[in-house]
Amino acid sequence: MNSETLYQFSTLTVVLLLLAFYGGTYLMTLGIRKKNEDADAFMVSNHRVGFGMGAASMTATWIWAASFYAAATSGYTYGVSGPIHYGLWGALMILFIYPFGRRFRKLAPNAHTLGELIHARHGSSSQLILAFSNVLGSIISLMVNFTAAGALVSVLSPLSFQAGVIISGVGVLFYTLWSGFRASVLTDFAQLVALMAIAVVIIPAVFFAMGGPSELVAGLGNLTAEQANFFSSEAILKQGAPFFVAVLAYAIGNQTISQRLFAVNEDHIKPTFLTATIGYGAIVIGLGMIGLMALTLGIQPLNGDMNNLIPQMVSGYLPPIFIALFFILVIGSLSSTADSDLSALSAIMMADVYGKNIARGKADPKRMLLVGRLTMITATAAGIVFASFSLDILVMLVFVGALWGAIVFPVIASCFWNRVTNQAFTVSVLVAMVLFCIARFELIDLAGPGGLFFELLASIGGGVIIGLMVFGFLGRAAGFIAGILALIAMLVFATDFLRDYTVLLASLTAYGTSTLVCVVMSLTSREEFDFDTIRERVGDYDDTPIEEPVATPGDTPVTANLASQR
Amino acid sequence: MTTLLAFYVLIWPAMTLGVLVVICRAVMRDRRQAREENRELV
């Protein structure tokens, strides 16, 4: 998709830029490399990652290439409020998970994945459902990021799409393969610093180069009434609401988040996630403003492709050095997310699949490391192949979204309510998926009583989302009241209305159904689970001494293993 | 209106800069603490 209008780098320049980026990142990881890596550290570092590194890593991981393009598209499509309706909800995904994250960490301080916690709580079937949803999500994420690299390279240089995909895939694998999560966190910091510094420069640079505030005000005449309205209902319904529904689902269903919840120093979880929320929101909304600028100037996206908006604006108004900075910005954002996905996938295969289901308590740390590294190689290859062939992943995306929605309540309830059973978890998710499919693909007529039935379930889903969000911050009573109020509001406004919006109806149905089934089945059970047993069941795998840097004279050598440190 | 819109656009890079400073300072602190405890940063 090479373009004549956009600035074009020479092949040599792009290759040198990529070489500098991936070569520099690789060199960084050499500083932390150990001949014999520790299996636990490969998955979650030392459980004591500091506030600064943790916040940087969380922010960098959550910002992927699509964040910029989608925020700019939102600004261009919905006008003044568009960037907010993309960036704000994405940021809240980080914010709303931390109260639950603190609970996860309290229950299983030595866990590596959320699946391990669920395994200790319920057993294999519930754990594997969660692990499966995590794997699908990370593979999709890898594919999307490699695709973005290919598209960027092909738009700004004579290199082909496939070349961009392969270079980015191999580059990310190269620096993540040996040290896993540790390499991911360390490089996330460097990538985020570059990303933020570039964003700080590029946004005002484009703004003033296009004519500044006066030009923006003059261009407001090009906007429709809805686009000019900060409280546009169209922007809320079409952009904000679907994102809002996904806030908890994305956070629960994403191992990259839970991995950081288990890696960060327990005392720093709150400031880490708060800072990441603000950082993510500021960068993404800021870059989304470039879409708004393009709209006010009356610019048409090149070839009708909205993803060209930011490159067009940067290319059209700024000198080539800024285009090179933009190039690094996108490569940095997609690489930081891709390395986190590789680390997440390796941790799932190491802990959830090998550790809990194959080795069954007799895991060999060296074999675990091998499993993790082979997973990274396989996942990279899969991501490159899927991206290169531009496979249609819409159906996969639909199912992953539904699965994430369906597991939200069972996962959270399992960590707070001692009566939830493995059967309730598993059956509720499966029933929710079936009913989701019926609603999403309209397998029954939604015009009659069938529509009413699904609107009822969706209303429960709406109540559950609001209730859980409030519960996370304000506790059980407030959450319950908020959930009931939201349910009543949904029943009033959604009845005979929501059936026309099948995507939203089906998503909410997944939440509502899994909650209903899980609650009913749990209430009929007599099980009362002792949460203290989780801590005993989830531990470390590697007892070999940690390789520490050479101690300076006078220092006390520390060779204690991870388990004894905690 | 002009000032308001300028603020609306420029507040985000300003916030980004603020978070960048906070994170960099915190990482320096993390690094110092790790050295004092004779352990690695990550």
Q: Which residue ranges make up each domain of chain B?
A: 1-42
Q: Is the pLDDT of residue A540 over 60?
A: yes
The ipTM value here is 0.97
Task: Judge whether A245 and A24 are in contact, CB under 8 Å.
Answer: no
Nearest to B12 among A32, A285, A549 (CB): A285
- Residue A49 pairs in a beta bridge with A264
Nearest to B30 among A52, A548, A558 (CB): A52
Nearest to A203 among B12, B20, B40 (CB): B12
Give the closest-approach CA distance of B12 to chain A in angstroms: 5
pLDDT value of position A417: 96
Do A89 and A121 lie in a common domain?
yes
More confident residue, A497 or A521: A521
**Phi/psi of residue A264, nearest 5 degrees:** -75, 145
Helix/strand/coil (H/E/C) assignment for every residue in A108-154: CCCCCCHHHHHHHHCCHHHHHHHHHHHHHHHHHHHHHHHHHHHHHHH
Task: Judge whether B30 and A56 are in contact, CB under 8 Å.
Answer: no
Do A222 and A253 lie in a common domain?
yes
Neighbours of A19 (CB within 10 A): 12
Do A405 and A346 lie in a common domain?
no
How far are the Cα atoms of A60, A86, A193, A224, A411 from residue A459, in angstroms, in the given order?
35, 24, 43, 32, 20
Give the closest-approach CA distance of A526 to chain B in angstroms: 44
Give the closest-approach CA distance of A181 to chain B in angstroms: 9
Do you know the residue count of chain B? Answer: 42
Nearest to A286 among B1, B2, B13 (CB): B13
Q: Is the pLDDT of residue B40 over 80?
A: yes
Do A379 and A412 lie in a common domain?
no
pLDDT in tens, A15-74: 999 999 999 999 999 999 998 899 999 999 989 999 999 999 999 999 988 888 899 999
Q: Rounded to an integer, what is the distance from CA A118 to the centroid of its chain?
A: 20
pLDDT band at A244 (very low <50, low <70, confident <90, very high): confident
Helix/strand/coil (H/E/C) assignment for every residue in A267-319: HHHHHHHHHHHHHHHHHHHHHHHHHHHHHHHCCCCHHHCHHHHHHHHHHHHCC
Pairwise CB contact (< 8 Å): A52 & B26 = yes
pLDDT band at A506 (very low <50, low <70, confident <90, very high): very high
Q: Rounded to an integer, what is the distance from CA A62 to the centroid of its chain?
A: 5
**Phi/psi of residue A77, nearest 5 degrees:** -80, -45
Task: Judge whether A139 and A386 are in contact, CB under 8 Å.
Answer: yes
Q: Is the pLDDT of residue A555 over 70?
A: no
Handedness of CA A344, A345, A348, A354 (dihedral sign): negative
Do A146 and A76 lie in a common domain?
yes
How far are the Cα atoms of A17, A62, A76, A78, A561 from residue A90, in angstroms, in the given order?
29, 8, 18, 17, 38
Do A425 and A312 lie in a common domain?
no
- Residue A264: helix, strand or coil by DSSP? strand
Q: A418 lies in which domain range?
A: 392-530
Interatomic CA distance for residues A100 and A308, integer angstroms = 38
Q: Token digits for A383?
A: 């991501």
Interatomic CA distance for residues A154 and A163, integer angstroms = 8
pLDDT value of position A25: 97
Tell me, yes or no, whether A34 lies in a domain. Answer: no
Number of domains forming the structure of chain A: 2
Torsion from C-alpha of B26, B32, B38, B42, nearest 10 degrees: 30
Least confident of A153-157, A361-365, A384-388: A361-365
Domain boundary among A334, A357, A390: A390
pLDDT band at A556 (very low <50, low <70, confident <90, very high): very low
Q: What are the chain B neighbours of A230 within 8 Å (beta carbons)?
A: none
Q: Is the pLDDT of residue A564 over 70?
A: no
Q: Which residue of A has its CA nearest to B1?
A: A217
B32 has a chain A CB within 8 A of its CB: no
pLDDT band at A561 (very low <50, low <70, confident <90, very high): very low
pLDDT value of position A558: 32
Choosing among A222, A278, A561, A566, which should be mutated to test the B contact, i.e. which has the most B CBs within 10 A? A278
Q: Each residue of A23-41: b (16+ CB within 10 Å) or e?
A: eebbebbeebeeeebbbbb
Domain boundary among A343, A375, A390: A390
**Who contacts A200 (Cβ-Cβ below 8 Å, separation ≥6)?**
B13, B16, B17, B20
pLDDT in tens, A185-213: 999 999 999 999 999 999 999 999 999 99
Q: Is the pLDDT of residue A560 over 50?
A: no
Interatomic CA distance for residues A113 and A249, integer angstroms = 16
Pairwise CB contact (< 8 Å): A278 & B19 = yes
Q: Is the pLDDT of residue A182 over 90?
A: yes
Q: What is the DSSP letter of A500?
A: G
How far are the Cα atoms of A118, A211, A338, A407, A427 from residue A524, in angstroms, in the given order?
21, 66, 43, 20, 14
Do A420 and A331 lie in a common domain?
no
Q: What are the chain B neighbours of A213 within 8 Å (beta carbons)?
A: 2-3, 5-6, 9
Q: Is the pLDDT of residue A396 over 50?
A: yes
Interatomic CA distance for residues A425 and A403, integer angstroms = 13
Tell me, yes or no, whether A12 lies in a domain. Answer: no
Do A489 and A448 lie in a common domain?
yes
Task: Judge whether A332 and A205 are in contact, CB under 8 Å.
Answer: no
Q: How many CB pairs under 8 A join A and B?
A: 125
Domain boundary among A390, A410, A426: A390
Q: Which residue has the tokens 């689902």?
A: A249
- Residue A256 pairs in a beta bridge with none
B15 has a chain A CB within 8 A of its CB: yes
Tell me, yes or no, whether A536 lies in a domain. Answer: no
Do A386 and A403 lie in a common domain?
no
Pairwise CB contact (< 8 Å): B39 & A558 = yes
Do A355 and A440 lie in a common domain?
no
**What is the average pLDDT across A209-228?**
93
Task: Judge whether A367 and A542 are in contact, CB under 8 Å.
Answer: no
Pairwise CB contact (< 8 Å): B9 & A49 = no
- Residue A264 pairs in a beta bridge with A49
Tell me, yes or no, whether A115 lies in a domain. Answer: yes
Q: Which residue of B has its CA nearest to A275?
A: B19
Q: Which residue of A has its CA nearest to B6?
A: A213
Q: Is the pLDDT of residue A566 over 70?
A: no
Q: What are the chain B neighbours of A33 within 8 Å (beta carbons)?
A: none
pLDDT value of position A211: 93
Q: What is the DSSP letter of A10?
A: -
Task: Judge whether A479 and A470 are in contact, CB under 8 Å.
Answer: yes
Tell me, yes or no, whether A554 lies in a domain. Answer: no
Q: Token digits for B29?
A: 């602190």
The letter for the amino acid at A473 is F
Do A290 and A346 lie in a common domain?
yes
Do A174 and A283 lie in a common domain?
yes
pLDDT band at A258 (very low <50, low <70, confident <90, very high): very high
Q: Is the pLDDT of residue A388 over 70?
A: yes
Q: Token digits for A337?
A: 């997310």
**What is the average pLDDT across A306-327?**
92
pLDDT value of position A545: 55
pLDDT value of position A246: 80
